[in-house]
Chain A
Amino acid sequence: MAVTLDDPRTKNVVRRRGGRNWEKWGWIYMRVSGLVLVVLIFGHLFVNLYAGGGVSALDFAFVAGKYASPFWQVYDFLLLWLALVHGANGIRTLINDYSISPVGRGLRRLLSPHFLMKSALLGSTVVLLILGTLVIFTFDPCPATSNADLLPSFCAAVQ
């Protein structure tokens, strides 16, 4: 049986079934989100880990003081979504690079390490995006039942 090969100079034409080129948009997203993340992460580290008492000053009252302002709520919301989606898409690249994609169909495919890793990645990303968003926007800086010493100072005026 004769094996036929393309002429080495044949153009590598990728045939697609139409629709959007998601890989391209992923590539663009990594770069656009990266640019924004440089600013957001630098500011995040500066305010929480460098200014004031740095890590030694972190506690509930500090975070509650920040989240009392819509500015930090929106800031952390953007940080959450941009960083987690950027990181998850990066991990997707690694799974594609290092794990063989499944050959079989049905259950064989569903139980392949490649598919399980991608499911775990997608699942954890969705759960953390929802959890993080709820935490930022349903947060109560002055919970009623708490030891007042642990709360931000403005809670005394509220209660």
Chain B
Amino acid sequence: MSLKSTQLPTPTPSGSRTLNPTSLRSRRFSLPRRPAGTVYRGREGMWSWVLHRITGVGIYFFLLVHLLDTALIRVSPEAYNAVINTYKNPIMGLGELALVAAIGFHGLNGLRIILIDFWNVGTRNHRLMFYIVIALWVVLLLGFAPRHLMHVFGGGA
């Protein structure tokens, strides 16, 4: 059925939670300050998405550079070694830590996205899974960072 715009009813907020700012202030419980019913708006849902996007783009541009520097093994040992040695200076070493942090988050959160999509209670638990992702990510970095920093700054094996 099609309606002319002049025939459309005036829009009214649907549902019982009509948001009236003045009446809300007196309530004890907190009401959502965002449109209800969206998974990806605000809080953990949105920030995980923002981080997933930023890390994805960051890793992508590193990959472009990394494929080119690795291609130098086809040029000559000298050319490859000259470029790979720049990866060993301290500033690049910190960059590699940031890279592993980005990949770690993107990969773990990617698994969370897959669980949200395919696990029947995934959507209900997306917030809990976000904190599990953060916890695993912290463990990963605690395992990687000290050893990597020793490789870069010397000291240790």
Please give the residue numbers on chain A whose beta carbons come within 8 Å of chain B beta carbons, in ascending order: 2-7, 10, 31, 34-35, 37-38, 41-42, 45, 49-50, 53-61, 63-64, 67, 80, 83-84, 87-88, 90-91, 94, 124, 128, 131-132, 134-135, 138-139, 143, 146-147, 150-151
Contacts and interface: CB of A to CB of B under 8 A. Distances in A.
> Which of A6, A10, A50 has the most chain B CB within a 10 Å cutoff?
A50
B4 A4 contact: yes
Interface in B56-104: 56-57, 59-60, 63-64, 67-68, 70-71, 73-74, 76-78, 80-81, 84, 87-88, 93, 96, 100, 103
Contact of A5 (B5, B63, B84): B5
Contact of B60 (A58, A91, A131): A91
A134 to B, nearest CB: 8
A157 to B, nearest CB: 18
A45 to B, nearest CB: 6
B2 A5 contact: yes
B56 A6 contact: no
B57 A55 contact: no
Contacts of B117: 31
Contacts of B148: 49-50, 54-55
28 contacts: A2-B4, A4-B2, A5-B4, A6-B3, A7-B2, A7-B3, A31-B113, A34-B111, A34-B113, A35-B114, A41-B103, A41-B107, A42-B107, A45-B103, A55-B93, A56-B151, A60-B73, A63-B70, A63-B80, A87-B63, A90-B56, A91-B57, A128-B68, A132-B67, A132-B71, A139-B73, A143-B77, A150-B81
A3 B5 contact: yes
A45 B117 CA distance: 27
B36 interface: no
Contact of B77 (A54, A67, A150): A150
Contacts of A84: 63, 67
Given A5-B8, A31-B113, A132-B67, 6 more contacts: A2-B6, A34-B110, A37-B107, A58-B88, A124-B64, A150-B77
A151 B67 contact: no
A59 B81 contact: yes
B41 interface: no
A14 B59 CA distance: 34
> Which of A4, A49, A88, A128 has the most chain B CB within a 10 Å cutoff?
A49
A91 B63 CA distance: 13
Question: 5 closest pairs, A vs B, by CB?
Answer: A54-B151, A60-B77, A150-B77, A87-B60, A34-B110
B128 interface: no
Contact of B84 (A50, A54, A59): A59
Contact of A6 (B2, B67, B107): B2
A115 B78 CA distance: 39
Contacts of A49: 96, 100, 148
> Which of A50, A56, A67, A150 has the most chain B CB within a 10 Å cutoff?
A56
